[in-house]
Amino acid sequence: MAKTLFEKYGGFKSVSRIVMSFYEKVLDSDQIGDYFEDIDMSRLIDHQTKFISTIMGGPASYTDDRLQKMHEHLKLSHADFDEMAALLRETLTEYGMDRADVDHIIREVEARRGPILSAGRP
């Protein structure tokens, strides 16, 4: 079986660093930071740890259904989604991931655009 990116980049050790810097970028973003204004810190981190693990092929699985339920009340726009993807790309690149792997992860995220924006604005 091919190694997952999760294994390739050292498992939780790297996920934790990626989550930490992604977390800061997201909070600092003027585009999407406000969505996290009142969210409980531990919930946000829980969400991001699971999400990053999932897209790297780690031991979590976020179903599209759950992603949809968690995001529908936020009514996110495509611009929000693009910002999130851009910040994630930035984080992963800073972390020193290969270009091809970053592209792969972003494609994984892109594949979830539908469920995440389900109730959003066009």
Q: Give the residue ranges of the annotated binding site for heme.
A: 47, 71
Q: How many degrees, rounded to 5, is the angle at CA 112 between CA 106 and CA 115?
A: 160
Any idea which residue has 């810097």 for tokens? 21
C-beta of 19 vs 55, nearer to other proteins: 19
C-beta of 37 vs 65, nearer to other proteins: 37
Angle between helices 78-94 and 99-110 in degrees, nearest 10: 160
Nearest to 73 by CA among 26, 117, 29: 117
58 Cβ contact list (under 8 Å, min separation 6) = 4, 6, 11, 12, 15, 52
The total of other beta-carbon atoms located within 10 Å of residue 28's CB is: 10
17 Cβ contact list (under 8 Å, min separation 6) = 95
Site string for other proteins, 28-67 (x = CB under 8 A): x----xx-xx---xx--xx--xx--x----xxx-------
Residues between 61 and 120 with contacts to other proteins, criterion CB under 8 A:
none
**Rounded least distance, CB 33 to other proteins, Å:** 5
Candidates 26-34, 71-79, 85-93, 114-122 — which segment interacts with other proteins by CB under 8 A?
A: 26-34
Is 15 among the residues that bind other proteins (CB under 8 A)?
yes
Give the interface with other proteins as residue ranges (CB under 8 A).
12, 15-16, 19-20, 23-24, 27-28, 33-34, 36-37, 41-42, 45-46, 49-50, 53, 58-60
